[in-house]
Every structure is written in structure tokens, then in C-alpha cells.
Amino acid sequence: MYPFLRMARVMALARRQPELGLFDTHVSQLICWPWDLDPWVELNNGRTLTLYDLGRLPLARRTGVERVLRERGWGLTVAGSSTRYRKRVTMFMRLTMRTRCLGWDHRFLYMEQSMWRGEDCASQVLIRSAVISKAGIVPPRELARAMGVAEEGPELPGWVKAWTEAEAQRPWPPAR
């Protein structure tokens, strides 16, 4: 089940936190609860992606993205992701999550998120998001314009460009 109560909590906290610039990092704290575990008693890989939602949503609120989306009747959806898992996360571990926008291209926004236990990074995800409307995908430059920032974002890091190029070569729809 989706963690709606956790989402309400992080959004309430974000409402009381200072605003962030579009490329600033939102830092949040979380705990791995028993219902986040898989049969091997560690954080479930699917739940990891769900918990990363709890970093992106407050970032959207604190940067003003959420307000612009609501005003325009737009939404934000995940259009792709690539996750690295490096350290086990077990029950009751406390983690620090870092979430930031890296930039955009002609179609998508790119965000980097990571979960840390002290100095150790447990996982990192690259999220490709699309701004959507009833008419389809909204070019990110329109979101930037609505937010009053430069329509051309910063150059994406090389590793993000390489991932997008690899994704472009992947067949769609996949073979049956």
C-alpha cells in the first residue's frame, strides 16, 4: 500500500521549511519500517522507489514546482528510472535522503536522489520525469518559463546524457 500518511507528514514538514532554488538539494530523514521489508528482511527494491517519491514531492513544494503544476492543471509523472543499490538497508535503520533537480532536455526533467546511512550511500536513483497535461507532455522549458527561470537549464552531467542515449536505443515496444 502507498504510504499516504508518510506522504502527508513530509508534505506538512515541507510547508514549514524554507523555499529552495530549483537546483538546491532537499534533505529529509526516514526510517525503514517493518512494512518496507522484503522476504530477506531488507528494504524492498520496489518500496525504495516509493520512498524516493517522499523526497521528490517535498522538493516540488519547496521549489515552487508544485504550485505552478497546480495553477496550470499539469501533473508530474515518472517516465524512467535507473537505480543503484549498494548497501543493505534493514529494519529501523535511519536514513538521510537527498533530492535535487539536475536539469532538463527538450522533453524531460532529470532528478538525482540518494539514501545515506552516515557516510555510506545505500542507493541512488536517476529519475526522468515528464510534465503532463490533458494535451500530453509539456516541454520543460514551459515549466521553467512559468517559474520565471531560464528556459534552458544547466547542461546535464555526462552520465545522465549517456543514460538518455542508451535509453533511446532501447526498443519500444519490447519484443514479446
Taken in order 130, 121, 45, 163, the sign of the CA dihedral is: positive
**Mean pLDDT score across all residues of the chain:** 97
The fraction of the chain above a pLDDT of 70, given in percent, is: 100
Kindly report, residue by residue over 61-86, the tens digit of the pLDDT. Answer: 999 999 999 999 999 999 999 999 99
Alpha helix positions (H), 26-80: 45-63, 65-72
The span from the CA of 156 to the CA of 35, in Å, is 36
Confidence of residue 170 (pLDDT cuts 50, 70, 90): very high
